[in-house]
Amino acid sequence: MESRAFDLVHERLAPALEVQDIDIYDISPSTVGTFDFVLFTGVLYYARHPLLALERAASVCTDVLVVETDLDAISVPRPVMVFYPGAELKQDPSNWWGPNRLCVEALLRDLGFKTIAFTPTPIPRKWTIFDLVKHKPAITPRGVFHARRS
For position 86, which CATH number holds?
Answer: 3.40.50.150
Structural domain harbouring 131 = 4-148
Q: Which of 140, 147, 148 is nearest to 69 (CA)?
A: 140
What are the pLDDT digits (tens) for 40-99?
998 999 999 999 999 999 999 999 999 999 999 989 999 999 999 887 777 788 889 999
**Total of domains in the chain:** 1
Q: How many helices (H) and strands (E) does the chain have?
A: 5, 8
Question: How much is the mean pLDDT over the chain?
Answer: 87
Which pTM was predicted?
A: 0.82
